[in-house]
Structure formats: structure tokens, C-alpha cells
Structure 1
Amino acid sequence: MNDIPAPRQANGHTVADLKPFASVDGWIFDLDNTLYPRHANLFLQVDQRIHDYVGRLLKMGPTEAHAVQKDYYRRYGTTLRGLMEEHGIKPDEFLEFVHDIDHSVVQPDPRLAAALQRLPGRKFIFTNGSKAHAEKVAARLGITDHFEDIFDIVRAGLLPKPNRETYDGFIAETGIDPARAAMFEDLSRNLAVPAALGMRTVLVVPGGTAEVFHEDWEVEGRNEPHVEFLTDDLGAFLETVLDAIPAA
């Protein structure tokens, strides 16, 4: 499989041995900008809807609404959590409004679907978004049947990653063993707790480069020890893992 790019660690070195994944029987995937590529720009639609919601709710202009939105996202993990904490909003209307988007921009990914199907063990989507949004994305990608469950922001009690309680709740509900699990994320900060729990951690970055992020703060921590592997092609990375582990 010479056409598959080798996975890279966060420090840029080529990974020669992926055998630690041989013990993994719990595969956990973030949704947005992880299971589908960032260049699909799906989350940009969500981001704009959040921006519009903040502006309408707080009666702000575009610049001020953007600043508040990103401040809450950075400090609370999601803008929703910030609006709940600081303005007491109820989540249902927010989640319905911000996920009312065009999911058709997400294209089927047969390569990813085939790799997910081959992974040994249980597979989960673990997202700060809604279950309805995750189901629509999974259907577009053609991967719905490959996941045992979707653990969304509502299941998390509206407490988003990277809060430790959210991961504890996920583990309690699913019964996975963190020492036999792997977490795939597009934000480094959301991998700190999984690494501390003993999971394998993989940071998924934009295709074609390991250097492009939308916000400066998103880059923070990607070279920290809690980011074990780095890839800009999830399907190719999973194929390489499958080639490396005896269970495949």
C-alpha cells in the first residue's frame, strides 16, 4: 500500500510501529472536522448559525457577536455552554437552530467506511454536537452502520469536552476500558483527558498540511505528549493501523 501516506507523530517524525493499536478494542471518534474533512466546510455553516444566534440573542453586531462566540467556545468548550452559564438559555432551541444546515456538502467516503468496518472491537461517535447532526453526517459519509452508539452533548448533560466529567460519563455508559481504547479528535485540548486515562490519541488535522488551523488557540498543545499521533488523512491512517496490527 505504497500510495498511503505514513502517519506522523506530533513532532513530525514518521511512525514506524503502530502495534500499540493491537490492544485497542474501543475506537472513539469526534465528529466535526474529524470523521469528515475540514475542507467540506460543513462546520463553517454551523459556526455561522451560532454567530447569528449569538447576535440575535444578545442584540450585537457581527464583530461583537463573533468575539463573544469565540470567547465562550474557548473558555467553556462550546458556545452553547457559555450561553447557558452566562445567559441562562435553554439548549433545545439553540441545538435545533445551529444544526439546521445543508449536510449535502459531505460526500460519501467508501475508503473510510471500509476501514471502519475492519476495525476490531466497538466503535463510537463522541461529539459536542447533537445526535441528529451526527446521524445526518454519518449517513452522508456512508458509515452509519459501523458505530455502536453516538454519545452527544445531550447525553453528556450539556457539559462538553474537554471537561473530565464528560469523559467519565462516556466511559460509565459504554463500559469501555480506557487502556484498550483510542480517541480521534481535531482539537488537541480534547485529547488531554483521554491520554491521562491511558487511551491512544490521534489528532486529525486539515488535509494536505499539518500546519493549518482556523484559530490560533486551536494550535496550542498539539506538540504536547498527550498528542500521540498526527494525521491529515483519517482513512489512510486507519488502513495503515490495520496493516500493522495482528488482529487485522
Structure 2
Amino acid sequence: MMHTFAHVDTWVFDLDNTLYPHHVNLWQQVDKRIGEFVAAWLKVSPQEARRIQKDYYLRYGTTMRGMMTEHGVHADDYLAYVHQIDHSPLQPNPAMGAAIARLPGRKLILTNGSIDHADKVLQRLGLAAHFEAVFDIIAAELEPKPAPQTYRKFLRDHGVDPAKSAMFEDLARNLVVPHRLGMTTVLVVPDGSQEVVREDWELEGRDDEHVDYVTDDLTGFLEGLSAKS
């Protein structure tokens, strides 16, 4: 496998449901708080808030972007509320850390979350020291993946050559633009042994042409790469 990654000098990782297992369902907590925020802001029932939340998520990339566009929500208020969660379900992953450390070149995070949330996740996982920088939703000027301009700004801000980089993501639709730009793409999917809470569309796309590789074991996948480097 390594010959297809031999050109890679920059390793780009999504955060939530990519660097930790889907079945931890940490995002469930965020998802619940998003619903609460939507219901309170729009003064609608939890059921109607849920419908709006998922509609905006699908159409705008994040519910936040939909709430900003449609209802004038301020990003700071939204992010402060939805990321007030318990990060304790996350456990240190020294095996993943060692595998990431052995990869040649730079390692970066590209997330639709906030840098505060990302820092807490990386600290809990014991991975913070391995990443050069986090490009979050604020750095993206509040335009979430899969917006093309978000990837272009990330590449420009961090001086990344897409032809020499790899992108790891848990949503196939967020790999369309990276693949088009020339990045090697890896889709991280649930391992199948645990129940996960996802929308049906979130689990689609593993056979699409913009997905170069699929893995349900990111640590094992990275160990395989570093073992051959």
C-alpha cells in the first residue's frame, strides 16, 4: 500500500468520528445540544427543531451555517453552547499516536468544529503533540466543509500542496473536493462491531470514485503505512 502514499508529505485529518471511534458517540452530545439551541432560538418544539437541524446540516454543511444564514445566529454564541459536553468518554490512544508520529512529514487537523473543542479532544486522546496546527470553523471564516473555498483556504494558509497530501474523513461528501484538488483520500467508517448514531446519508459514498481508500480501523491503517515507510 505504501507506494501509493510515498509522495505524501502532509497528512490532514478530520477530527470528530475520525480520530476517535464512531461508537464513542461523543458527537451525540453535541447533536443533542444543537437541537436544544435550535429549539430555544426559534421557539419551536424539540421535534420541529430536530427537523430543522438535520435539514440545515444536510443543506449547509453544518446546522450552524444554516442558523447563521437563515436566522442571524452569531457563531460565538452557537459554538459556546453546543460544545459544552463531557469529553470523558474519550480515552488516550497511544497506538494511534505512535502511528501518526511515524508518518513522514506534517500533520494537520481540518475540522468543522471549534479549536476549543478540537484541543479538548486531542488532549483526551493524547494526540495533541503530534499535530502542527488545527484549522477550525473560525479559520474557515465560518464556511464549513464541504465548501470548496474552505479547502482552498486551508491549503493556502498552511502552504499545503494537495498533490502531496492525504485527507482522512468520516463523511464521503467531504472528500469530493480534496480528491478533485489532487489529495489522496481515505474514508474512515464505523467498525461494524458497535452501534453508531448517524444519519443514513452520512454512511453513504464509500464506493464513490472520490474515495481512494476505506478503513474501519484508522490506527491499523496508519500502522500499515508507517511500517512500510
- TM-score when scaled to structure 1? 0.89
Mind listing any 5+ residue stretches in structure 2 that lack a counterpart?
Answer: none
User: Who is 1:39 aligned against?
Assistant: 23
For the Cα contact (< 8 Å) 1:124–1:147, is it kept in 2? yes
Judging changes above 3 Å, is the alpha-carbon distance between structure 1 residues 240 and 213 closer, same or farther for their aligned structure 2 residues? farther
**Whole-Å Cα distance in 2 between the matches of residues 63 and 213 of structure 1?**
17
How many residue pairs get matched?
A: 229
Task: State the percentage of identical aligned residues.
Answer: 58
Shift of 1:221: 2.5
- Superposed counterparts of 1:182-221, under 5 Å: 182-208=166-192, 214-221=198-205
Residue 154 of structure 1 aligns with an amino acid whose one-letter code is I
**Whole-Å Cα distance in 1 between the matches of residues 202 and 70 of structure 2?**
23
Aligned: 1:105 with 2:103: no
Shift of 1:243: 2.2
Residue 99 of structure 1 aligns with an amino acid whose one-letter code is H
For the Cα contact (< 8 Å) 1:204–1:233, is it kept in 2? yes
Residue 203 of structure 2 aligns with an amino acid whose one-letter code is V
Mind listing any 5+ residue stretches in structure 1 that lack a counterpart?
Answer: 1-16
User: Who is 2:131 aligned against?
Assistant: 147
- SS of 1:166's equivalent in the other structure is helix
- Superposed counterparts of 1:1-248, under 5 Å: 17-208=1-192, 214-244=198-228, 248=229
For the Cα contact (< 8 Å) 1:206–1:213, is it kept in 2? no
Residue 221 of structure 1 aligns with an amino acid whose one-letter code is G
Shift of 1:150: 0.2
Render the CA deviation track for 1:190-247: whole Å, top value 9, x for unaligned.
0000000111100001123699772121133321110111111111000011123xxx
Aligned-residue Cα RMSD (Å) equals 1.5
Judging changes above 3 Å, is the alpha-carbon distance between structure 1 residues 135 and 186 closer, same or farther for their aligned structure 2 residues? same
- TM-score when scaled to structure 2? 0.97
**Whole-Å Cα distance in 2 between the matches of residues 216 and 207 of structure 1?**
16
Render the CA deviation track for 1:72-128: whole Å, top value 9, x for unaligned.
000000000000010011110110100000011100001101001111000001000
- SS of 1:117's equivalent in the other structure is helix
Residue 34 of structure 1 aligns with an amino acid whose one-letter code is T
Residue 109 of structure 2 aligns with an amino acid whose one-letter code is I
Render the CA deviation track for 1:138-190: whole Å, top value 9, x for unaligned.
00000101000000000000000000000000001000110000000000000
- SS of 1:82's equivalent in the other structure is helix
**Whole-Å Cα distance in 2 between the matches of residues 182 and 40 of structure 1?**
25
Shifted more, 131-140 versus 59-68: the winner is 59-68
**Whole-Å Cα distance in 2 between the matches of residues 163 and 125 of structure 1?**
16
**Whole-Å Cα distance in 1 between the matches of residues 218 and 9 of structure 2?**
18
For the Cα contact (< 8 Å) 2:187–2:215, is it kept in 1? yes
**Whole-Å Cα distance in 2 between the matches of residues 142 and 210 of structure 1?**
23
- SS of 1:230's equivalent in the other structure is strand
For the Cα contact (< 8 Å) 1:69–1:79, is it kept in 2? yes
**Whole-Å Cα distance in 1 between the matches of residues 66 and 89 of structure 2?**
29
